[in-house]
Structure 1
Amino acid sequence: MSETDGAVRRVAPTRRQTISAGGIAGASLLAGCLGDEAPEGDEEPAGNRSSAGDGSYSVTMEPVGTVAFESVPERWIAYDGGYADMGVALGQADGMTGIGGADRYYTDVYDELPGVSVDHDRLEAHPEVRTREEFYELDNDVHLYDPGMLINWFDWDQADVDEIAEQVGPFVGNLIFRRSDQWHDYRYYTLYEAFERVATVFQERERFEAFADLHDAFVADLQAQLPPADERPSVLLTYDETATPDAFSPYRLNDRGTSKKQWRDLGVQDALAGTGVENLSTTDRGKLDYEALLELDPDVILLRGHERTSAAQFRDEIVPYMAEHPVGGELTAVENGRVYRGGYLHQGPIHNLFLTERAAKQLYPDVFGDVTDDTELFDRQRVADIVTGEI
């Protein structure tokens, strides 16, 4: 690791002269000088306000390192729905100018939160912001993107990242929804570790702490009601977005990415444990057929790729197709009607509350109520109050 890694590097002001970016990581950092995965926890501070008294502050997050801000960003963009949801949770929805992937940003949950919404016209106008030209056009103060993702998925190079960080606005972000990509050989973060850093970007500590308290109490209450471990169902989380699912991409629940957080919090048994089947990743695109599913024969099957499908449509169209398959119909989960939509790949703190509630009812209906009923397991008004500032 170079002598300057992790240090704050101040650069010339951008056009608005409000933000300066520091610690823009060179190729050596993206090559993995931090190792495969740093220990969990906040050994690395989320950020600290400057002692100079000028309103400046810094945020530290790998792979970029430490980024210095002269004032709170007003215009911002996120690559995925998880980071977009963090911004919304922090009361910053009005500043979001677009998104890197609108197809995987689910905003319908905001309909249940009075006073919480996003500007869909902006998202529809800029639904896949991934090119340097678009970054210049939108002229954001901060980009909640992992630059490693831009380099490995969209053919950027480090010079492109540095150019946008210096000429437009800095990057703060870490791809955290899964932990199986070989190129991601720097520190990962849990959902709330990442959320804390985004809260520091926007100087919204009070909202962050309110969400953290609500989340911790909610999860603790659910966990206190769970049945013993040996009475919990085995669960297969998989992906097939077609209306006629026949080839299933596997997800390992022991991969500690944020997209599986609700299942880990609810203590499920991973049907793939001990099988040697690898998690879906950039480099592993292997799929399972019905015969492979029957060998596993989980109690519950969670099928991702259908979040734009209503729960009723999923039950009426997708599940019957599986039941009519000569092998699929033999699966225990299919016979018992325990095939469900598997939740979002990218989830932020608001998403996570809704998805954890849904998961609890899918897995433990005798405890929390059936997933089709209207039982609410957390206080929607409280969430809305935090977002709108009634903390």
Structure 2
Amino acid sequence: MSNDSWRDAAPTRRDTIKYGGAALGGGLLAGCTDNVGYSGADTEGNYSVTMAPVGTVEFEEAPERVVHYFPDYGDMAVALGHGDSVLSMGLPSRFHTTHYEELDGVSVDAESLTRLSDNGIDRELFYELDGDLHLIDPQWLINNSAFKLEESDIEEVGNTVAPFIGNTIFRRTDEWHDYRYYTLYEAFEKVAKIYQEQERFTQLKQFHDDVLADVQADLPPADDRPNALLTFAAANEPEAFYPYRVSDQGTNKKQFRDLGITDALADTGIEGLSTTERGQIDYETMLEVDPDSILIRGHENKSRAEFEDTVLAFMKDHGTASELTAVQNDMVFRGGPIYSGPLHHLFLLERYATGYFPETYSEELFDREELAAIVTGEE
């Protein structure tokens, strides 16, 4: 993986992907690097990508077998036409793929994905998957005690199987994440460089920018936009909720920020869910806040009607929940996926624009055929 030989076996395809000298010199997991841009090609056909916390990874060709944990990065691979490269997910059930059904020619075989996290993560699984690249933030793996992985495990896998690169972007509440964050499209651009799909990325970003500009041009005045309490509670009859902060700049709140939905927990002192913060709130606490709207994650496998017939129906019959303004006004929604990539985001933007502002947005907000043509390369 470096200029030094770490094994005697003949070079394999994954030997064409290696850590750059800066990353090796400071240790694989040394933390944030000051050099966060792309490095130019060292020789013809070679290129490198630099991303905190790992640093620089050098490539001779795009990876064909990529180990994933985060569905947001998996969605990026699909968007770039490389869904077939995705080997795994931390929890495949959290890789929501129904939106691909609306894009002709776009799909991913989610059933074939290996589950990484199952009462911990077995280090040997990385050897079995035998990927060309691990598109995973290694600090995420090390700092989640449930995974039961040590830094030495990740060092070994990175140096004897394939490099790690990636950044935890879905939330920004983890104390251990003391290195640079990336926006959705900053991270997406890195992934596009990995796959050598810069032109397709440029087209997708322009598509996103145009859709967002059209939506934001018609938004109601800021004073007429509701606040939201974002939570996680997967039960059909929820009594306790893990709170998130809408104001958190993580990528899974981008659709709410884009629509000007504000944080109902602002100035309450209630912290958002993180690796170490696992506190819950109940209906009494909710009633003290009394948000304009409530977003509940953990129900992405339900339709809107199914959600209303179960979760919302329970809340309407609950002695305390029924007093909430959001419940009385039918402003309780599914909260969206925990991990959302660029294709996810476009559909979520449409879902919440039409849900929050039905008098302004009532139809499809973007052209499915045009988007599918970019993804499939048939534009």
CA change 1:10–1:121 in 2 (3 A) is: farther
SS at match of 2:19: coil
2:92 is aligned to 102
CA change 1:363–1:312 in 2 (3 A) is: same
TM-score by length of 2: 0.92
1:380 is aligned to 368
After TM superposition, the structure 1 = structure 2 runs for residues 256-267 of structure 1, keeping only pairs within 5 Å, are 256-267=249-260
> What is the distance in 2 between the residues matched to 1:241 and 1:11?
49
> What is the distance in 1 between the residues matched to 2:50 and 2:19?
11
Question: What is the Cα deviation at residue 150 of structure 1?
Answer: 0.9
Pick aligned residue for 1:143 from 134, 139, 149: 134
Q: Does 1:197 align with 2:190?
A: yes
Question: What is the Cα deviation at residue 234 of structure 1?
Answer: 1.6
Pick aligned residue for 1:83 from 63, 69, 73: 73
Whether the aligned pair in 2 keeps the contact of 1:76 and 1:144 (CA below 8 Å) is: yes
Question: What is the Cα deviation at residue 156 of structure 1?
Answer: 2.1
> What is the distance in 2 between the residues matched to 1:383 and 1:64?
32
Deviations 1:107-157 (A, max 9, x none): 11111110011123422xx12264321111111111110000111112322
Pick aligned residue for 2:237 from 221, 233, 244: 244
Q: CA RMSD in A?
A: 1.8
Question: What is the Cα deviation at residue 27 of structure 1?
Answer: 7.7
SS at match of 1:29: coil
Matched positions, count: 366
SS at match of 1:209: helix
SS at match of 1:68: strand
CA change 1:197–1:314 in 2 (3 A) is: same
Whether the aligned pair in 2 keeps the contact of 1:47 and 1:197 (CA below 8 Å) is: no
SS at match of 2:204: helix
Question: What is the Cα deviation at residue 168 of structure 1?
Answer: 1.4
> What is the distance in 1 between the residues matched to 2:56 and 2:344?
28
Q: Does 1:69 align with 2:59?
A: yes
1:179 is aligned to 172
Deviations 1:358-379 (A, max 9, x none): 111121111112xxxxx21011
Whether the aligned pair in 2 keeps the contact of 1:20 and 1:70 (CA below 8 Å) is: no
4+ residue runs over 6 A deviation: none
AA aligned to 1:350 is L
Pick aligned residue for 2:317 from 315, 324, 328: 324
AA aligned to 2:105 is G
Deviations 1:74-105 (A, max 9, x none): 11121111000000111001222222221210
Question: What is the Cα deviation at residue 9 of structure 1?
Answer: 5.0
Whether the aligned pair in 2 keeps the contact of 1:333 and 1:339 (CA below 8 Å) is: yes
TM-score by length of 1: 0.89
Question: What is the Cα deviation at residue 28 of structure 1?
Answer: 7.1
> What is the distance in 2 between the residues matched to 1:252 and 1:299?
15
> What is the distance in 2 between the residues matched to 1:220 and 1:14?
49
Pick aligned residue for 1:19 from 14, 17, 20: 17
Question: What is the Cα deviation at residue 62 of structure 1?
Answer: 0.7
Q: Does 1:157 align with 2:168?
A: no
After TM superposition, the structure 1 = structure 2 runs for residues 115-154 of structure 1, keeping only pairs within 5 Å, are 115-123=105-113, 126-128=114-116, 130-153=121-144, 154=147
2:300 is aligned to 307
Q: Which runs of 5+ in 2 are unaligned?
A: none
Whether the aligned pair in 2 keeps the contact of 1:232 and 1:268 (CA below 8 Å) is: yes
Deviations 1:313-339 (A, max 9, x none): 101111010011101001111111111
CA change 1:11–1:94 in 2 (3 A) is: farther
Question: What is the Cα deviation at residue 44 of structure 1?
Answer: 2.6
Question: What is the Cα deviation at residue 347 of structure 1?
Answer: 0.6
> What is the distance in 1 between the residues matched to 2:4 and 2:211?
43
Question: What is the Cα deviation at residue 11 of structure 1?
Answer: 5.2
Pick aligned residue for 2:50 from 41, 50, 60: 60
* Identity over aligned pairs, percent: 51
> What is the distance in 1 between the residues matched to 2:3 and 2:238?
51
Question: What is the Cα deviation at residue 290 of structure 1?
Answer: 0.6
Pick aligned residue for 1:217 from 210, 231, 239: 210
AA aligned to 2:116 is E
Whether the aligned pair in 1 keeps the contact of 2:236 and 2:311 (CA below 8 Å) is: yes
Question: What is the Cα deviation at residue 159 of structure 1?
Answer: 2.3
